[in-house]
Copies of this chain bind each other. A is one copy, B any other.
Amino acid sequence: MYGDISAKAAHMLGQPAVLDFFAKLIQRVSPKSYQQALAEVQVSQKFLENFCGDQVRFLARSFAVPGNHLGQRSNGYRWPYGPVAIITPFNFPLEIPLLQLMGALYMGNKPVLKVDSKVSIVMEQMIRLLHDCGLPAEDMDFINSDGAVMNKLLLEANPKMTLFTGSSRVAEKLAADLKGRVKLEDAGFDWKILGPDVQEVDYVAWVCDQDAYACSGQKCSAQSVLFMHKNWSSSGLLEKMKKLSERRKLEDLTIGPVLTVTTEAMIEHMNNLLKIRGSKVLFGGEPLANHSIPKIYGAMKPTAVFVPLEEILKSGNFELVTKEIFGPFQVVTEYSEDQLELVLEACERMNAHLTAAVVSNDPLFLQDVLGRSVNGTTYAGIRARTTGAPQNHWFGPAGDPRGAGIGTPEAIKLVWSCHREVIYDVGPVPESWALPSAT
């Protein structure tokens, strides 16, 4: 049945008018450019296409292995949890809740969904569309509340599993409250390393600009720190990045309001960084001008601050430099051939391991960096990025047993089902069977 619902919903969502409706609706509540909002709808549409027809039943594929005697075989199933909960944040009002909701339903769970109330109108419209495509009204619940009420509901309803996407602080609280019956996708302080082989500088600069500043940096996959091999210094990369950042403007929301950090907080953080010896502003560093963004939100030009590598690693500085600013803000540093160890040490000491990028086509360099890092979604190669994950590959953190994933069949199976083993043992009891001694 869910194959049919997905097919219908994918087709409907693929209509130009519907794509446009949802893209604009997203823009109404979430500060991103039309292209970024449209991409969110398109990824959601592709995801639905992926689970048309029999593909939902193929998710429930089990396996069997012969047993020890005639009539015995063991079967490994992916089994639903039953009642589950989904809690999703403001920055992707359609993609995150839709993909997780459908995943939960595909695997046979009964989800209650809560989307950040600032943006829940998008999912509310989407659920209406799903109902129209055949989703039975009783298969899921949709709740509008603040976090405190939701927390209380979770503690009382005691769902078998809760998927939470959002800030690390709330994630840790929920994990303790629910005694670990959670899957989490929380923030990331995402790094990018440029390797020794300098190539395609224009392309790499453009990717850096998008990774750091698209959606005003309000993606959990946004580039937070850039480790640049010294070979790139004379390539003009930083100048190109500066120029690209200056193209961004409020009118088309290629830069825009920051919902969870105020301008003052960002300026203060920057000033703290600038106290570190050798630090400097590369570009940005000023509030946006000529706007009517309320004070409770942030409004900042795309900003990059340079901090020397040796300083980053000092224990007083490290926590400061790796503090995630959910806005258009990144740290840049440089390393020489013999400092790769320091770069890897820095990456290992960071807490959140969500996305990462290793921009190099040198197989030995890639092997070295990939083998010693643990970020969940890691891009490698000269075209590597940290953001822009589509529906066709897994997206999620690694290194944590509570880590969730989103997008692929593997993610759906891991997050929304558990292993169950059924061993069939139908006989016959051999004719020669005789009562053994007790053991």
Q: Which residues of A contact B (CB under 8 A)?
A: 3, 7, 10-11, 14, 33, 35-36, 39, 46-55, 57-58, 60-68, 70-72, 74-76, 79, 81-82, 160-161, 172, 175-176, 178-183, 200, 202-203, 206, 209-210, 213-214, 244, 247-248, 254, 361-364, 367, 370, 374-385, 390-396, 398-403, 405, 408-411, 414, 418-429, 433, 435-439
Contacts and interface: CB of A to CB of B under 8 A. Distances in A.
B364 A65 contact: no
A53 B49 CA distance: 5
Nearest to A391: B54
A416 to B, nearest CB: 10
A10 B370 CA distance: 34
A419 B398 contact: yes
Nearest to A206: B435
Given A49-B7, A426-B381, A57 B65 contact: yes
A393 B379 contact: no
B419 A410 contact: yes
Most buried by B among A33, A384, A411: A384
Contacts of A399: 79, 81-82, 160, 418
Given A64-B62, A254-B439, A399-B160, A419 B376 contact: yes
18 contacts: A7-B49, A11-B11, A35-B437, A52-B52, A54-B392, A58-B65, A65-B392, A70-B367, A72-B381, A81-B399, A82-B374, A175-B179, A176-B179, A202-B435, A363-B426, A367-B426, A380-B422, A395-B421
A179 to B, nearest CB: 4
Given A54-B392, A79-B374, A395-B421, 17 more contacts: A7-B49, A50-B52, A51-B53, A52-B52, A62-B63, A63-B63, A63-B64, A176-B179, A179-B402, A213-B438, A361-B363, A379-B424, A382-B427, A382-B429, A383-B425, A384-B423, A410-B419
A419 B439 contact: no
Given A374-B82, A419-B394, A425-B379, A53 B63 contact: no
Nearest to A172: B179
- Specify which of A52, A213, A437 lies most central, judged by the most chain B CB atoms within 10 Å of its CB: A52
A377 B50 contact: no
Q: For A35, A58, A213, A409, which residue has the most chain B Cβ atoms within 10 angstroms?
A: A58
Task: List 10 A-B pairs, minimum CB-CB distance, nearest first.
Answer: A180-B180, A49-B53, A381-B426, A74-B393, A35-B439, A50-B53, A383-B425, A394-B421, A175-B180, A49-B52
Contact of A61 (B63, B379, B382): B63
A409 B58 contact: yes
A379 to B, nearest CB: 5
A438 B361 contact: no
A371 B245 CA distance: 38
Given A206-B435, A400-B181, A435-B206, A377 B427 contact: no
